[in-house]
Chains A and B, each alone.
Chain A
Amino acid sequence: MTSNNDAFLSVRDLIVEYTSEGRVIHAVNGVSFELERGKTLGLVGETGAGKTSTAKAIMRILPDPPAKIRSGEIVLDGQDLLKIDEKEMRKIRGRKVSMIFQDPMTALNPIMKIGEQISEVIKMHNDITWREANQQAAKMLEKVGIPSDRFNEYPHQFSGGMKQRVVIAIALACSPELLIADEPTTALDVTIQAQVLDMINKLKKDFNTSMIMISHNLGVVAEVCDDIAVIYAGEIIEYGGKEAIFDHPTHPYTLGLFGAVPHLYDDVDRLSPIPGLPPDPTNLPAGCHFSPRCPHGQELCRIEKKGLVEIQPGHFSRCTRFADQGR
């Protein structure tokens, strides 16, 4: 990919490994992408593909041991996050970059009032009094659709959807420039998910926040994202704008994902699942990581490792077989 100096976030050749019982798990294998200010990137993939590891690497919250960032660059607003020390990083976490985790049930402190959990973050990054922090926290609550008179209530008094809103309020309390959302609506009911996605979209516009949305749900990604990166076995195998990916997917894995999911308005007799299982991250196949499962795999695929090829302006793929076809 050509280097874009306007990019707000630029991740380059990120490699993350986990060591466990003497074996090395190759979680992230050379992931590169860019994110412009105010835009949203969707990171799509299944369990174990490396999406959460990538996100945690950006936040530098990977547990070390067993995780290790072997190499790569994570340049946020001109600063390489992998080259600064923990003290510097702490100033950035929560303030410049914020993360929302998947499970709202465990993301909140059960013995602390929800309002205080928001003001705590505000006080940590701003030189203001507690009273001022609480006032700002109350305003944040209103912004996420929770009446501010619920400031002094505890997490167990809220439903799953409302808890997730509190989590979002905490994440946005310091107006971060980058928000990483790791499957923020997976644990929520469909109608609540719609409310929360709607709210995220509005807040994104208000704060002009850049966002990385991690999800395995193509529909959610379509609702919220501008660009999409499809990740498989720790690599980005296809990358492009929303229209490019949804209208002209080219990588067999992306095609497989679309074929495996039942759609609300498309009638099929039988789904087309992707045969086999995701590869063992301690023992990745040679050549193209997807080749053992690929219905179009050829001999060359098993030997040669393909790089990302720009098949259309801004649309990259590791497989050029279907470069000329649509869906």
Chain B
Amino acid sequence: MSALVEVKNLKKYFETPGGMLHAVDDVSFSIETGTTMGVVGESGCGKSTLGRVIIHLLDSTAGKIYFEGEDVTAVDSKKLHKLRENMKIIFQDPFSSLNPRMTVEQTIMEPLIVSGRYSKKEMEEETERLMTMVGIDERLRLSYPHELDGGRRQRVGIGRALALNPKFIVCDEPVSALDVSIQAQVLNLLQDLQKQLGLTYMFVTHDLSVVRHISNDICVMYLGQLVETSPSKELFKHPLHPYTKALISAVPTTDIHHRKERIILEGEIVSPINPKPGCRFAARCGYVSEKCHEPQQLEEVLPKHFVSCCRARELNRL
């Protein structure tokens, strides 16, 4: 299996009145075909921006993006067209991701209409097929978004994303806004579709339990920086970066008989605007040293397990 999507030293900066906002700062990883890469972090870590840059909804500031081995960082509009058919996105908010004035059928059909390649009959049949595939009842064909619940709206969004048989889908917190029992339905659907269609996902979320369940590999981000990446189970067995450890320990557990040692982070989050060089977690880290204020390197500390921390080996006795 080779990497379907790869990013190298990807950067995305925004100009703001207060200065340059480093939303995504020097991120590198690759995603194997047919797998799910979980990208986890808290608000402001840049994970959503990262997803949008990869599928070209936003322009990158620096770095490279590869799709199927080809450099697609800067593409002309014809190539962009083709690329967009292969890379899709599912959004977090089931309320704002659907046009309130378009029916279920119109929303799912639109990508087919825009492609200009299908007859009316073909589009109607394909829309029906997609609706069945994502589990939307035929009788809801002419319904409007406000008539549907969050779970069904998300299914419409998924149907729309699948319309032209994409290879890669960025799932931007697709279940965060849903009720617990509906979350499970949608997560199962995404897993089934992946098996059925051989899809590759980049699954962005702040929920560690969800990311562990659905990902093959995980990237942990903090304020635009990639701090750790490894296969999913390995990350939870041996978290190496102090932030990852704090993050995992912060998740409230339903295991009431094993009170775990909670790492409580002190201090405030630094601003991503005109940040100082070095690790951005340093201000809250219990193990900060002089070297932490220099730019950190992503190193393979354990097999397939990369960390961006100068003290990683030392703190984990490796």
A109 sits at the interface (CB 8 A): no
A222 touches B252 (CB 8 A): yes
B115 sits at the interface (CB 8 A): no
Chain B residue numbers with a CB within 8 Å of A217 are: 252
B182 sits at the interface (CB 8 A): yes
A271 touches B184 (CB 8 A): yes
| Contact mask for chain B residues 168-196; partner A; CB cutoff 8 A; 1 contact, 0 none | 00000000000111111101100100000
CB distance from B67 to the nearest CB of A (A): 30
CB distance from A127 to the nearest CB of B (A): 37
Expressed in whole angstroms, the Cα–Cα distance for A194 and B262 within the complex equals 8
When the two chains form the complex, which single residue of B42, B181, B214, B236 contacts A260, counting CB atoms closer than 8 Å? B181
A135 sits at the interface (CB 8 A): no
CB distance from B283 to the nearest CB of A (A): 13
Task: Tell me what chain B mostly uses at the interface: helix, strand, loop, or mixed.
Answer: helix
Expressed in whole angstroms, the Cα–Cα distance for A198 and B213 within the complex equals 27
A277 touches B149 (CB 8 A): yes
B133 sits at the interface (CB 8 A): no
B264 touches A195 (CB 8 A): yes
Expressed in whole angstroms, the Cα–Cα distance for A242 and B182 within the complex equals 25
Chain B residue numbers with a CB within 8 Å of A159 are: 268-269
In chain A, positions 193-228 with a C-beta closer than 8 Å to chain B are: 193-195, 197-198, 216-220, 222-223
**How many residues of chain A get a CB closer than 8 Å to chain B's CBs?**
44
B184 touches A272 (CB 8 A): yes
Expressed in whole angstroms, the Cα–Cα distance for A222 and B42 within the complex equals 22
| Contact mask for chain A residues 49-76; partner B; CB cutoff 8 A; 1 contact, 0 none | 0000000000000000000000000000
B97 sits at the interface (CB 8 A): no
When the two chains form the complex, which single residue of A47, A263, A273 contacts B184, counting CB atoms closer than 8 Å? A273
A194 touches B181 (CB 8 A): no
B208 sits at the interface (CB 8 A): yes
B265 sits at the interface (CB 8 A): yes
A194 touches B250 (CB 8 A): yes
Given contacts A195-B264, A268-B213, A277-B149, contact A260 B184 (CB under 8 A): yes
CB distance from B267 to the nearest CB of A (A): 11
A265 touches B255 (CB 8 A): yes
A274 touches B253 (CB 8 A): no
CB distance from B45 to the nearest CB of A (A): 9
Chain B residue numbers with a CB within 8 Å of A160 are: 43
Expressed in whole angstroms, the Cα–Cα distance for A262 and B214 within the complex equals 9
B96 sits at the interface (CB 8 A): no
B42 touches A189 (CB 8 A): yes
CB distance from A103 to the nearest CB of B (A): 14
A264 sits at the interface (CB 8 A): yes
When the two chains form the complex, which single residue of A218, A270, A277 contacts B151, counting CB atoms closer than 8 Å? A277
A264 touches B268 (CB 8 A): no
Given contacts A189-B42, A190-B42, A257-B180, contact A263 B250 (CB under 8 A): no
B254 touches A222 (CB 8 A): yes
Expressed in whole angstroms, the Cα–Cα distance for A185 and B181 within the complex equals 20
B74 sits at the interface (CB 8 A): no
B179 touches A46 (CB 8 A): yes
CB distance from B281 to the nearest CB of A (A): 11
Expressed in whole angstroms, the Cα–Cα distance for A189 and B222 within the complex equals 12
B164 sits at the interface (CB 8 A): no
Expressed in whole angstroms, the Cα–Cα distance for A243 and B254 within the complex equals 11
A-B contact pairs, 25 of them (CB 8 A): A46-B181, A159-B269, A160-B43, A189-B43, A191-B246, A191-B250, A193-B250, A194-B250, A194-B252, A194-B264, A195-B264, A195-B265, A223-B253, A246-B256, A259-B184, A260-B180, A263-B253, A263-B255, A264-B208, A264-B253, A265-B253, A270-B188, A273-B182, A273-B185, A273-B188
Q: List 10 A-B pairs, minimum CB-CB distance, nearest first.
A: A219-B252, A273-B184, A262-B213, A194-B250, A189-B42, A260-B184, A274-B181, A271-B184, A273-B185, A262-B209
Which residues of A line the B interface, CB within 8 A?
46-47, 159-160, 189-195, 197-198, 216-220, 222-223, 242-243, 246-247, 256-265, 267-268, 270-275, 277-278
